[in-house]
Structure 1
């Protein structure tokens, strides 16, 4: 009998990581919107005071504010992206060796500290530079790299290989639904106490801190590590066919490698090399595609705040919520496409979907055009999630934490470079062609198809 048959229902429920993912993402979506709006308000007030003596055209004030926000995010994203490099891999190693919850709990502590930093900035009217320190604390605790690699490891452990793609995309669906709810509420929450400048965003940041606190204590006191769903031992070598990651290929079950050599059928020397090559190609495709996604996501908040869109707080929240619907549509896409397409086909569908939407974003002039472009990106989440699933089929279960955190750190490191480059490109081109960064992302997403 499997673990599902022997474990009481209450214990199985405690192995579900979904409550942690949902509460963490609600906190994150509230925090992201709050950070953008608080920083915008701070630099807006500063720009207005600097030009009170000598009035300047509205466009000049807007351009100065945009550059100030962009420069803030360049430094902020550098801190967020680089500080996890000091701790995330170590947390992944400790999780594999001692306890699976280590990387999740420590990173959630960092999340809570960063949310508290924003709350204190709002309460005490501290300078925005304080947020760099809060971001550094978050990164030193592993950041999102450690958290999501831990979530992926638990999700992979608690699912069979046949259902792993569905299991991992389900976690992304929970992430998207929670982010959608948080973003929809963020603009309305930010407007509470709007009459008091020092209290602007107080309700929003307090809600974010509350959700982060719940996630941390749930993971510490309630969450249990699921039993591994690895295939049972067999007398004969276990050879599995994995279709679609790079065409159709055959791979030895990594959990059975030692057993095969005992039986007398050692794997041929040529088998390991193609497997490593496949993993390397998957890494390259994920990184190039992530460059396109991160660049678009980083520039988009600045894009919607300036003309021709010039969104207010509520519209910013709705726009962020529209981005989270991609998690829902990508989940439905995997659910349908996995029945009739190989993994490679699903990955390419997602990349083309995002590239087409990014190209449309480059020429957006009205709000309805923005939402059309976001709708075209409906399958944009499929590629990286499917790549993670494919990689999990090529490695041992005991190595999930290390491999997933290496992938997540690679994405984070390239994301830091991308954020800096895209923000600089945006500053240089926002007066000539504001959609330059989106056009570049469209090209990169198509380029990412080549390794697949």
Structure 2
């Protein structure tokens, strides 16, 4: 008892719950992912390049035709690879989300990180033992059977939402994205140099893939041994008003703003049956907007990896690493955007700002001829991350915290399915149009992104 009196600071210690921070897991996982993404692209390019050179020695063909053949081979590889990555999580992700909600929040994160680690080991073994590139399909399947990114990211978002109040949730989730982006930026910048360390060697990319496996291992063991689940922030005891309870806000998301909710609390309570319908409608509209926007983003990112390898850019390994790193800068700029915009704008407005930012950048990307033009287009996309993160935040304000795992994993699976269809469609469009207008896919993404504003607005 005397100890309690002489140690008045003891009651403050529980606030410093460092072990509940998900950021170390996110950072190490994303470094591993960014190293893997660059390594996968360059290893696949080298594999198909070796095949083409052996064929070229027997049948002479123009250099341009050889490059087009290599581009089509890489594109076809990614079509199958993305199908495996996108479809296999359907077998396990929802079940992991249910288990996380029912038993322990770390289940979906830990199992998905195990699959993540196994897929990185697959690339390492391919490089080390010179296996055929097709073995990477099996590595991707192991990743998907562990829940893939759908189970992993829904688990991360659930933990992030649990440990934050509604008023600060958008900032909390975008801060997690910021950590992810900063880690991805560092990993991408280093990836080209790590790959070049073994350039010209029969085991090209060995150091890069070994580093990816190391970071993935750290993320898994940290999750199992160190990470603790934060306690849910207690919600106000008063029932929040229905989304349509304020005149002039039907069909919008203005009442998702916590400040607006406090101001509207005097309006009164409505019957639960009456308020359930508009909430479901809003969630459905958020789903539609997220899927349309994700379609545009995934299509652009998939084609961009191929676009930078051929003329007119024809990037080398280091330039590829820098190019991928430029994509991660939007995590930083989007965080700063939410930090500022959340003070003046509501969720709907922030989502639309992000969509316009990406759509404008994608349109510029369609006409890129020089490297500096590529970076200008990427700069215009500086708020491209805001929409999906803000949509997740908005959804979390409309559902119970006991349903976070299931709802987030359904959203993530919807985005994964969209990614599968998009990857196949865009890769085929790219193959058909790269000789006519190589920016066709980027222009299409711009149009779709602008259309995604309709269900949000």
What interval of TM-score do these two structures reach, taking the shorter chain for normalisation? over 0.9
Quickly say closer, same or farther: Cα 1:5–1:381, change in 2 above 3 A.
farther
Q: Deviations over 1:291-335 (max 9, x none)?
A: 000000000010000000000000000000000000000000000
Quickly say closer, same or farther: Cα 1:63–1:250, change in 2 above 3 A.
closer
Q: Distance in 1 between matches of 2:192 and 2:450?
A: 34
Say which of 92, 101, 105 aligns to 1:87. Answer: 92
Quickly say closer, same or farther: Cα 1:6–1:81, change in 2 above 3 A.
farther
Give the structure 1 partner of residue 44 of structure 2.
39
Superposed displacement of residue 342, structure 1 = 1.1
Q: Distance in 2 between matches of 1:7 and 1:121?
A: 51
Give the structure 2 partner of residue 353 of structure 1.
357
Let me know the Cα RMSD of the aligned residues.
2.0
Q: Distance in 2 between matches of 1:250 and 1:326?
A: 25
Give the structure 1 partner of residue 303 of structure 2.
299
Matched, 1:331 2:335: yes
On the 8 A contact 2:241/2:270 being kept in 1, the answer is no
Say which of 6, 13, 20 aligns to 1:15. Answer: 20
Matched, 1:399 2:400: no
Q: Distance in 2 between matches of 1:413 and 1:312?
A: 32
Say which of 174, 196, 201 aligns to 1:169. Answer: 174
Give the structure 2 partner of residue 246 of structure 1.
252
Q: Distance in 1 between matches of 2:118 and 2:312?
A: 36
Give the structure 1 partner of residue 423 of structure 2.
419
Q: Distance in 1 between matches of 2:403 and 2:448?
A: 30
Superposed displacement of residue 396, structure 1 = 0.2
Say which of 205, 220, 226 aligns to 2:224. Answer: 220
Q: Deviations over 1:245-303 (max 9, x none)?
A: 92423799xxxxxxxxxxx9672532111110000000000000000000000000100
Quickly say closer, same or farther: Cα 1:346–1:265, change in 2 above 3 A.
closer
On the 8 A contact 1:149/1:408 being kept in 2, the answer is yes
Quickly say closer, same or farther: Cα 1:92–1:367, change in 2 above 3 A.
same
Quickly say closer, same or farther: Cα 1:180–1:265, change in 2 above 3 A.
closer
Give the structure 2 partner of residue 257 of structure 1.
none
Quickly say closer, same or farther: Cα 1:298–1:14, change in 2 above 3 A.
same
Quickly say closer, same or farther: Cα 1:173–1:240, change in 2 above 3 A.
farther
Secondary structure, in 3 states, of the residue corresponding to 1:32? helix
Say which of 99, 112, 117 aligns to 2:117. Answer: 112
Q: Which runs of 5+ in 1 are unaligned?
A: 253-263
Superposed displacement of residue 394, structure 1 = 0.1
Matched, 1:144 2:152: no
Give the structure 2 partner of residue 260 of structure 1.
none
On the 8 A contact 2:192/2:317 being kept in 1, the answer is yes
**Matches for 1:227-376 after TM superposition, within 5 Å:** 227-233=231-237, 237-239=239-241, 246-249=252-255, 267-376=271-380
On the 8 A contact 2:243/2:278 being kept in 1, the answer is no
Give the structure 2 partner of residue 261 of structure 1.
none
On the 8 A contact 1:104/1:151 being kept in 2, the answer is yes
Superposed displacement of residue 10, structure 1 = 8.7
How many positions carry a matched residue from both structures?
435
Quickly say closer, same or farther: Cα 1:399–1:6, change in 2 above 3 A.
farther
Matched, 1:442 2:446: yes
Q: TM-score, normalised by structure 1?
A: 0.93
Quickly say closer, same or farther: Cα 1:99–1:88, change in 2 above 3 A.
same
Give the structure 1 partner of residue 263 of structure 2.
none
Q: Distance in 1 between matches of 2:272 and 2:236?
A: 23
On the 8 A contact 2:302/2:423 being kept in 1, the answer is yes
Secondary structure, in 3 states, of the residue corresponding to 1:425? helix
Q: Deviations over 1:373-393 (max 9, x none)?
A: 000000000000000000000
On the 8 A contact 2:170/2:393 being kept in 1, the answer is yes
Q: Distance in 2 between matches of 1:29 and 1:147?
A: 16
Quickly say closer, same or farther: Cα 1:420–1:8, change in 2 above 3 A.
same
Give the structure 1 partner of residue 264 of structure 2.
none
Give the structure 1 partner of residue 60 of structure 2.
55
Q: Distance in 2 between matches of 1:386 and 1:409?
A: 18
Superposed displacement of residue 239, structure 1 = 3.6
List 4+ stretches of structure 1 deviating above 6 A.
240-245
Q: TM-score, normalised by structure 2?
A: 0.92
